[in-house]
Structure 1
Amino acid sequence: MPAHHRQLPIYLKGQEIFEITAKIIDLIPENDEILSHVKGMMLEDAALLTVKVSGAEAGDLYDIRMENAAIIRKAGRDLFTHCTTLEMYGFTDTQYLVLIREAIEAYKVLFREWVKGFDAWNYSIDDWGLFNPPGINPESGE
């Protein structure tokens, strides 16, 4: 797979979010069981923001790209929610969480533009019926 996807604005912003998240969650005390659990989820969700862009770009087909986009959307939403969880469970450095939230808001703008560029007519039929282009019926193949 060509490395051009690593130059996409959405990929670069995803990397930035991962780096910000990694630095902030390093502030979580290891002996806090709940926050340590959240820490792992945050790192995983932050990583998905670049990993799934790579998968979408490599897959190229509309259904693969849309599936990856849905996973990215969930990861971004979950990462945002994890910030609130940290606040609720006593994370003391909450002033840094705004950095993650603002970066996710900027990522959403890039995400919407990226998804608009998907070629809906470069597809294989999704027999689950979830990620077919508009008007394509998985039962008939049309």
Structure 2
Amino acid sequence: MRKKLEEMPLYRKAEEIRQTVRTICDLIPEENNYLQETKMHMLENTLVMQAKIAGAYSVNLWDLKMENAAIIRKCARELLVSYHSLTAFGFDEADYYLIVRKQLEEFRLLFREWVASFDPKKFIVDEWGLFNPPGIPQDYVQSDAELDFLDEDDDGLDFGFDPGDFEGYDSSDDNFEDEGGD
């Protein structure tokens, strides 16, 4: 699964952006606290983008894919405007960041194509009403037949464990102490 993920054009472009941002961040002076905060935020956004691409790749549910896609979009947009923070806080090498903005435009086009490939028939109603496919109202009652896709093989996804390892597992054997709370 990891190899197929890393071969995805969108993931490869996200990695290219991460590497470019990392290189530019290495030029940020240590003594400027504002730029250091901006640097941390930029690096975080690149990592979250890749993690959410992987998260969306590993599920078939349209609503979960769209939730990940929304977070990816947010991170990409924050990266896009980071140029303004770099210039506002006096980063002398800010013009290098225009490379990242070009890469983000290339990423955006790949992203749109990727999101269009999500299958809107493979969804579970989002009780929050935010990530239902087009035409599905918030109070939609889903029939069992609409959930048959849940029984399908997940395209050979490998999560690194054998479900058979859990046969005979009894959760009542777990000894967790109640830590109080509400």
Fold match by TM threshold 0.5:
yes
Q: Does 1:122 align with 2:122?
A: yes
Using the alignment, how far apart are the partners of 2:141 and 2:41 within structure 1? 38
Using the alignment, how far apart are the partners of 1:27 and 1:141 within structure 2? 54
Using the alignment, how far apart are the partners of 1:13 and 1:76 within structure 2? 12
Using the alignment, how far apart are the partners of 1:6 and 1:141 within structure 2? 37
Count of residues paired in the alignment? 141
Question: What's the TM-score once normalised by structure 1's chain length?
Answer: 0.95
Offset at 1:120?
0.4
Using the alignment, how far apart are the partners of 1:60 and 1:45 within structure 2? 24
Equivalent residue number for residue 53 of structure 1: 53
Offset at 1:37?
0.3
Which residue identity lines up with residue 55 of structure 2 in the other structure?
G
Higher relative contact order (CA 8 A, sep 6+): 1
In structure 1, stretches of 5+ residues that fail to align are none
In structure 2, stretches of 5+ residues that fail to align are 143-182
Equivalent residue number for residue 106 of structure 1: 106
Deviations 1:28-66 (A, max 9, x none): 111111000000000011112211110001122100000
Equivalent residue number for residue 74 of structure 2: 74
SS in 2 for 1:28: coil
Offset at 1:6?
1.5
Using the alignment, how far apart are the partners of 2:60 and 2:92 within structure 1? 43
The structure with the larger Rg is 2
Which residue identity lines up with residue 66 of structure 1 in the other structure?
M
Using the alignment, how far apart are the partners of 1:99 and 1:117 within structure 2? 28
Using the alignment, how far apart are the partners of 2:28 and 2:7 within structure 1? 31
Using the alignment, how far apart are the partners of 1:108 and 1:140 within structure 2? 32
SS in 2 for 1:132: coil
Using the alignment, how far apart are the partners of 2:32 and 2:59 within structure 1? 40
Equivalent residue number for residue 18 of structure 1: 18
More helix by share: 1
Which residue identity lines up with residue 83 of structure 2 in the other structure?
C
Give the aligned CA root-mean-square deviation in angstroms: 1.0
Q: Does 1:39 align with 2:22?
A: no
Deviations 1:82-109 (A, max 9, x none): 1111011100002211111000010000
Deviations 1:109-133 (A, max 9, x none): 0000000000001111110101111
Using the alignment, how far apart are the partners of 1:141 and 1:30 within structure 2? 55
Percent of aligned positions with the same letter in both sequences? 40
SS in 1 for 2:58: helix
Offset at 1:16?
0.4
Using the alignment, how far apart are the partners of 1:34 and 1:95 within structure 2? 18
